[in-house]
Amino acid sequence: MKRIINEVGDKLKANDYKLTTQRQQILEVLLESKDQHLSAEDIYTLVKKKAPDVGLATVYRTLELFLEHDIIHSVNFGDGRKRYEYGHSSSGHHHHHAICLNCGKIIEINEDLLEELEKQVGIDYNFTVTDHELKIYGYCGECNQNNK
Annotated binding residues? 94, 100, 103, 115, 132, 140, 143
Detail the residues annotated as belonging to a binding site for Zn(2+): 100, 103, 140, 143
Which amino acid appears at position 49 of this protein?
K
| Beta strand spans in 9-63 (E) | 38-39
DSSP 8-state assignment for residue 37: -
The identity of residue 2, as a single letter, is K
Nearest 5°: phi and psi at 117?
A: -60, -40
Confirm if 70 and 86 have CB atoms less than 8 A apart.
Answer: no
Annotated binding-site positions for Fe cation: 94, 115, 132
